[in-house]
Structure 1
Amino acid sequence: MEHQRRRRRGRTTLLIAAAAVLGIVAGTYGIGSMERTDVPGLATRDDGRWDYPRLSLPALPAGSPRPFTRGNAGEIHYADLRELLLPAPAGATADKKLAGGWVSTEQYVSEYAEDQRAGLRLALRDYAVRHIAARGWTMPDGTSSRIYLLRFQSVAFAQEFKDMEIDSGADAGAPLVGAPTTEIDAGWSELARDAVKGTTTEVFVEPAPYDGTQVRQAYVVAGDALALIVHEKKGGAPVAPFRQTAILQNQLLG
């Protein structure tokens, strides 16, 4: 483990560089300006985007600030984490195991290759993850979507877990089941710009040739929360709805 930590620290410069060029593709989808209590659903268009409902940020407990405001140094989300999960789009079939509620650490680590799970379990304990919420669904075209939101004690814990344990940078780091090889989604990075101040998004794709099913994944660090977004589909996961999903989930966390 100590050897792995030294190797990971050696990639800090790469991680910072990747974070600098990877953000949310906002302008292409017309969400560059909006009220922070109202998030448009990015209606389906000819490029294959899904029909998400119009979204609103949940109410906060009285006197609690939003994560990226003065007086909230830890960038804490005081809203119920489950209410910050993106809802499924029209036509989706819900995943009964990932129904928008709390899930276990074991459920989250099951997304990763088997040889990664023990280390991630230990890291989640060491970094004191507070809650994990998740939602999943399948679309009529066969695209399977899953979103996990992890809440830590502060932004420092969330960022450190992503940098040191997930170890994403030039690739997605800890591999997911079915996606042993990944690379930065270059098409995303060419368009990228920050959509929500203070958040970072890293987007990856499983390159061809893949074994039947292609995986796309993204990590969003937004204050004390870390999001894992996964789309996979036999024959190739469409890019437009994946980017749309990542954009909207980032907006909800902002």
Structure 2
Amino acid sequence: MTDNATPHDSAAAPVDAPPAPFAPPAAPPAAPPAAPPAAPPAEGAGENPWAAPGEGFVPFLAPPSPEELAARRTRRRKAALRWSAAALICVLAGTGAAVAVTTPDRTDIPGLATRTDGRYTFPALVLPPLPSGQAAPVENKSRHAADLRHLLLPAPKEAGGSLTPVVFPTPTPTPTPSATATASGSPSGSPSGSPAPTASSTASGSPTASPSGAAPAAGVPAADWVPCDAMAAEQKEPVVLRSLLLRNVCRAATVREWTASDGTRSQIRLLRFGSSVEAWDVFAELRADGAPKDLPGLRPASVQGWDSVRGVDIATRESPVITGQGRTTGYLAYLSAGDIIGVVTMTNARGVEGPAFRQVVTLQSDLLA
């Protein structure tokens, strides 16, 4: 055997083929070109699926017709008129409600009325005119020249008084007064020339002649001239008060009384003297020892918190509280204003309202200040 291969062996042995060259992956097939968008069909060339049967196609952006524009304007005008009418009705209703609530008094509106504290309704206070050449009083240093009756507080509405402001007659010049005492214990004359009440007075206590020389004008509340010692009969010790009035030469006196709808009886007396010194002497005695018979057990009452009236001194008294509502049955006040002394009395068996007493005293002080 030899090591050389035979041709048969070489021909029969397989021969390795060379590797095939690298080929890239084939690209995907291209998509077919998109078809161009179809043009919108011509008018009348098709049917609108949203149109009513029998209607042709209407372009979506077609401009409104003149009839439609006119209809829109009409609808807008009607809507504006409706809203304007609604707004006007609301304004009128609100205005009417405001007027209905604010025009009447609060106490006349149901649900808003508050319980009264007893105060009265007085007309607007008016100071009486002064005689020609006379000056107004200055605190406690001068005398009052006005008619004493016109310085009285008028009756309130609750006692049948009028709410019309008082109209006073024009004062007339009068002669100088004298200081002669009358038989009744009242000195005659007054600082303004008013004749003092004498024993010739009528049964009602009014003098036969008008102090101002003329009859009171219409609208002036009725007030009586009375003797200076008329209030002495109301005191527990009338002799003491009569002597006091004679010693200090009381010139004139007047009084006003009323009974309110709540049953409270009010009385206001004014007494005129020749000077503030004489008037103060009487005021001091009354403040210390005054004792009306109809008001037993009087005790000092506080005036703390009251509106102060310049030129007027006030001393108040009250009866003990005996009513079931905790109110006193009587109040008394003495006022001193220059040459005039005032005495305010308010009584009621069912109790007197404290605010009403304070109101009457303050308003009367305003007229004397």
- For normalisation by structure 2, the TM-score amounts to 0.50
Matching of residues 190-209 of structure 1 within 5 Å: 190-195=304-309, 197-209=310-322
Structure 2 partner of 1:80: 147
Q: In the alignment, does 2:362 pair up with 1:239?
A: no
Tell me the distance in 2 between the aligned counterparts of 1:146 and 1:86. Answer: 10
1:82-127: CA deviation from partner (whole Å, max 9, x where unpaired):
0000010013158x779512111342212222xx101111111111
Structure 1 partner of 2:250: 129
| One-letter amino acid matched to 1:232 | T
Structure 1 partner of 2:121: 51
Q: CA contact under 8 A between 1:144 and 1:232: conserved in structure 2?
A: yes
Matching of residues 151-170 of structure 1 within 5 Å: 151-163=272-284, 165-166=285-286, 168-169=287-288
More strand by share: 1
Structure 2 partner of 1:223: 338
| One-letter amino acid matched to 1:145 | S
Structure 2 partner of 1:60: 130
Q: CA contact under 8 A between 2:234 and 2:294: conserved in structure 1?
A: no
Q: CA contact under 8 A between 1:74 and 1:156: conserved in structure 2?
A: no
> Equivalent pairs: percent with the same residue?
33
Matching of residues 91-130 of structure 1 within 5 Å: 91-92=158-159, 99-113=222-236, 116-130=237-251
Structure 2 partner of 1:40: none
Residue 90 (structure 1) aligned to one of 157, 167, 170? 157
| One-letter amino acid matched to 2:252 | H
Q: CA contact under 8 A between 1:58 and 1:79: conserved in structure 2?
A: yes
Tell me the distance in 1 between the aligned counterparts of 2:245 and 2:304. Answer: 33
Structure 2 partner of 1:28: none
Q: Which has the larger radius of gyration?
A: 2
How many residues matched?
A: 196
| One-letter amino acid matched to 2:275 | S
Q: In the alignment, does 2:300 pair up with 1:179?
A: no
Return the offset for 1:63. 1.6
Tell me the distance in 1 between the aligned counterparts of 2:278 and 2:158. Answer: 37
| One-letter amino acid matched to 1:174 | G
Return the offset for 1:181. 1.4
SS in 2 for 1:88: coil
Tell me the distance in 2 between the aligned counterparts of 1:46 and 1:90. Answer: 14
- Residues 46 and 208 from structure 1, CA distance in 2 versus in 1: closer, same or farther, beyond 3 angstroms? closer
Return the offset for 1:213. 8.0
Return the offset for 1:45. 8.1
- Residues 140 and 67 from structure 1, CA distance in 2 versus in 1: closer, same or farther, beyond 3 angstroms? same
Higher RCO, Cα 8 Å, sep 6+: 1
| One-letter amino acid matched to 1:81 | L
Tell me the distance in 2 between the aligned counterparts of 1:198 and 1:52. Answer: 23
- Residues 65 and 250 from structure 1, CA distance in 2 versus in 1: closer, same or farther, beyond 3 angstroms? same
1:48-87: CA deviation from partner (whole Å, max 9, x where unpaired):
2101111110000112111117xxx842000000000001
